[in-house]
Structure 1
Amino acid sequence: MQALDVLGEPVRRRIVEELAVGPLPAGEVAEVLHVEFGISQPAVSRHLRVLKQAGVVESTVDAQRRLYSLKPEAVEEVAVWAQRIAQFWNQRLDALETEVARGKSARRTAERNAS
């Protein structure tokens, strides 16, 4: 799952957050990341290239600038993975909730029998 591999980097996750609103020129992405992370435009370009190679973003040329946008299938891949993990934890948490309720019930029964 290449999308998740490249999203382990905080700068790349932030790029994805910026691109979630729609296509942006590389320069605008670089400005935001320079303010937030203090990194240079060439460093942002390297992160964008990694995201593009992983299939997370795509780029188009618009006159003198390059526009980057998210690829929906990459976002869907991450969403499906997160949903599977959430189901795993939801089952475990439901089981824990049942055990806590049993413990409370047993404690109330024991307290009533002790009185």
Structure 2
Amino acid sequence: MSDEQPGREAEPVPRSRSGAFGRRFPRRGTEPWNAQSPLGLRLLLSGVFLPLFFAAAVLFGLWAASSGPGDSPGRGVLTAIAVMCGVLALIAAIDVLVVVRRLRRERRARV
């Protein structure tokens, strides 16, 4: 059950007061839909791992291109690792875009 009036939406919780540190608001039962993650940490991690995975994808790709038929690890393994690193770099890039968009939206809502 909810204490809110029907047809009236709840006010958004400011991020500065919504985390594990500081004051917490009572649970409303809608956490899976309204859950908030620490955007600063997500931005930091994605910003660190995006160039790391991109560089790894390029290096493994170059290593796969220069490997011979009898080399170990083989060309297929190196190509698979390069593709996985490229996919992880793409996921990190998408996460950076999502986090930046959410931070901008929150800053506009404060003004």
TM-score, structure 2 length as denominator?
Answer: 0.35
- Whichever structure has more helix as a proportion of its residues is 1
TM-score, structure 1 length as denominator?
Answer: 0.34
